[in-house]
Structure 1
Amino acid sequence: MSKQDLASALMDAAVDAIIVINDKGIIQQFSESARALFGYAPEEVIGHNVSMLMPYPDARHHDRYIENYKNSGVGKIIGIGRDVKGQRKDGQTFPMHLSVGESEFADQHLFVGICHDLSNYKNALDKLAAAEERYREIVQAQKQFILRLDSDFRITFANASFTRALGTENTDIIGAPITVFFNEPGHRIRQRLASLFSDENTSEEIAVKVTMNGKDGSQTLVDWSFRRTSTQGSDEAELQGFGIDVSEQERALEQAHYLRTHDPLTGLLNKQTLVEDCKVWFRSASPGALLYIDIEH
């Protein structure tokens, strides 16, 4: 087998498309994988300028790229490789990675291009980006508060519901310690959450009910649930928190308790509650006095 036959056999066996051009940009060889990728038979392209495989404006400037390289010796793709677009016979464009090498053969200066189709890779990236965008939209649309905290209990992520509840911007929250928004002493919350960073509590959840202080002075009672999670691409653990605004529920419970223990007309304690409170008071050692007023007379 001659070297020419061996080279042709290797070209046709290659998975990626291989195209050989001369220093004028004219196609000299066109592999079987190139036929499958671009849709041209070898006889349709050999002897023609390689720019026929490129979309505008790359096709227009390709010959100039070759001349610049011949004059300066500096190539933007040769020996490096680059992601570019190719154009099939039917006019459809597609992403590909182009690696170019050069060689001397039979007194000819040749360039060998290896084209790897990136269509599946780009489609996977697009689907991943779309999935991430859908996930982001779902998270941001949740009425539930969603947070991420680093090991210093600083906020690394907060969804829109949380920022709206505090009446502030996301930029004012990211990087801030979560405890600055608590109405309760922050060290107590930190002590409870710190246990989640130990190796023994990788699956434990801690529930915390705290009052959050808004920028406008408003207060929101939030029932939080925190658990440990890992950050993608990093060994550093974070805490993920899911919070529910229970302010209205708490007010409803307080109102129900008030109606259960007070007379609706006078607002005074009803008989049952008064008796129960007096029993507690009588059992205590502290002295006191009881004043009785007949409100009907």
Structure 2
Amino acid sequence: MPGMITEGEGNLHALIDTVPDAMVVIDEEGSIRTFSIGAEHMFGYAEAEVIGQNVSLLMAQPDRDQHTGYIEHYLDTGRAQIIGASRVTTARHRDGHSFPINLAVGELKRGSQRGFVGFMRDLTESRQTERELLTLQAELAHVSRISSMGSLATSLAHELNQPLTAVVNYSNSARDLLDDPTSANLDLAREAMDECAREAIRAGQIVHRLRDFIASGETERQIASLRRIIQEGAALALINGDGRGVDFETEFSASSDKVLADSVQIQQVVVNLLRNALEAMSDATRKQLRIIVRDGPQGLIEVAIADSGPGLTKSVAERLFRPFNSTKAQGMGLGLSICHTIITAHGGNIWAEPSKLGGAAFHFTLPLAEVDDGDD
């Protein structure tokens, strides 16, 4: 019965409470049976409040609505969509804000009973997983983007900012660790310095890739999942805790999410548009952010990122995708120009219009990939 914990579950509970990451055990119906201390800290709920409730309570959209379908699909077919794999996605705190997590789901079998256990790590707080996201950010920085004005020096400054920021972060972490030179901290400091060296090398790679992109104008396009690109991009945009106080949801209503694209470049577009939206809402009393993915014109898929910020003035809207046009006091005005260059290079379009939430909505389209029916 929901709410009752057997002796075996009690022993399991004592074990998982020793793990600092969040662990949640659910039954076949998706009802929460065990909620670790780490999960209490991460989500803001006491265990007694969530026992017996559906685990979708902890999920941001679209996973919240689709989770039951994931379980039923697995139980009916034995084909795992999220079980046995680790992925970056977003979760929902008790107070309503969304935050990035690394999620891994495993299956539990005890006699005739079957359940699932989720292992969750908050990517906004964990130093170890911060290194994973900094690696993703460094990969984004490898992408060569050039504004329509072709300002090489300014573009390089924009692109090099991410790896150089990573170098600073790793250096500061190593310095802090050396304040307490235990054996474990020295090992972590060495790892941080190794990462500094890698990021410095990547800074040099940016120069080479930008040069190649200018010379050929080509992108490395492959069949990719737009859902995965957006989920990871959202996690990166929220890495600094910028999602606090923001009602954030993602809606996938497209019949297919397979696109022909350079995943890293499209992820950069998503990150830029989400960060712009979060900054636009910084002073808003009501903060709503929506990502909507739907079928576009024939052969295309459309993505809309809408916010409840102040919106765009007419003068800004008319020059929106031109380089060096920025509404930010310290901005260089390259972000949207770079987004425009990437999307048009992929054969899509990008535009902005007023949002139903009261702010601005940025839309872009991408070509769908032709996938055989037998592909997942």
Structure 1 length-normalised TM: 0.43
Instruction: Name the structure where strand makes up a greater proportion of residues.
Output: 1
Greater relative CO, 1 or 2 (CA 8 Å, sep 6+): 2
Q: Which has the larger radius of gyration?
A: 1
Q: TM-score normalized by structure 2?
A: 0.35
